Amino acid sequence: MITAKAAAKQYRGRDNTVVHALNPLDLVIEPGDRVGIIGESGSGKSTLVRLLLGLETPSAGSIRYQDGEVSQLSGDRLRQFRRDVQLVGQDTTSSFDPLRSLRDAVRRPALEILGLTVAEADAAVDEVLASLAVDPELASRRPSQVSGGQRQRFAIARALIVSPRILICDESVSALDVSVQGAVLNEFKDFAERSGAGIVFVSHGVPATAFISDRLVVMHGGDVVEQGEVSQVVNRPKHPYTARLMGAYRKLSADESSAA
């Protein structure tokens, strides 16, 4: 459904040097896939997300949605893309209008993308909030009047209300405390299982990414250094960078279980 073919992105650095943020990458994402993209800060993950969403144009290669180039979509096909592919980012505070209610934020895509009436959109808001076990009373508040975890659930509701076929989660649990992280990860999983949607889960954290994904793509310095099934990448990494990343993760897991 989304196909990256030799997609690459370069930026001009401060002193006019070329920054190779993403080296040519091939990736196919279908509904039902659960793909984890993992790598340390600066490895190119956010660049890839921006390309997948059509927010930036690749410097080389292509990113296609069905048979059209994502960054060139317009009209009905762009509307369909926005319905099919939704993002839950990390910084939910800045993605909400501080002066409007959370209900208003969740309702908006139902009005603008699905073309529902206000009454229909309100019913859809109530339904999606119930599916995420969110107290509907919170919806009348402004974004600053709820906790970070509650705000993140509204960001998820805003993405899920259009029933996307692919959900892109970019560091979407990283800012939450560990107990809330677990609940939100389960909500992503439930949604994918219920709807058959695909998830692209982008993070620098191994545990959350391994928990939610079937397939891992490991990035380092703008390159995909390894990809494969989660158990293979975690337990039998081939690339030295992956081995270091997974070694640190396994040590942490072992320390946690011996401390418990």
List 16, 17, 41, 179, residue binding ligand ATP (CB under 6 A): 41
On the 0-12 / 13-18 / 19+ scale of CB atoms within 10 A, 21 is buried
The verdict on 11 binding ligand ATP (CB under 6 A) reads yes
Residue 41 CB, shortest distance to ligand ATP, in Å, is 3
CA distance 36 to 22: 17
Question: Of 43-51, 59-67, 68-76, 178-186, which part binds ligand ATP (CB under 6 A)?
Answer: 43-51
CA dihedral 192, 253, 204, 7 (to 10 degrees): -70
CA distance 68 to 15: 35
- Positions in 181-220 near ligand ATP (CB under 6 A): 204
CA distance 119 to 192: 27
| CB-based contacts of 60, cutoff 8 Å, min separation 6 | 6, 7, 8, 24
The verdict on 149 binding ligand ATP (CB under 6 A) reads no
Contact present, 118 and 96 (Cβ < 8 Å): no
Our CB check for ligand ATP shows the closer of 82 and 204 to be 204
Our CB check for ligand ATP shows the closer of 40 and 255 to be 40
CA distance 221 to 207: 21
Our CB check for ligand ATP shows the closer of 6 and 55 to be 55
The verdict on 229 binding ligand ATP (CB under 6 A) reads no
- Token match 């793909």: residue? 35
Residue 108 CB, shortest distance to ligand ATP, in Å, is 26
Question: Of 36-44, 71-79, 95-103, 241-249, which part binds ligand ATP (CB under 6 A)?
Answer: 36-44
The verdict on 46 binding ligand ATP (CB under 6 A) reads yes
Judged by the rule CB under 6 A, the positions of this chain that interact with ligand ATP are 11, 13, 19, 21, 39, 41-47, 204
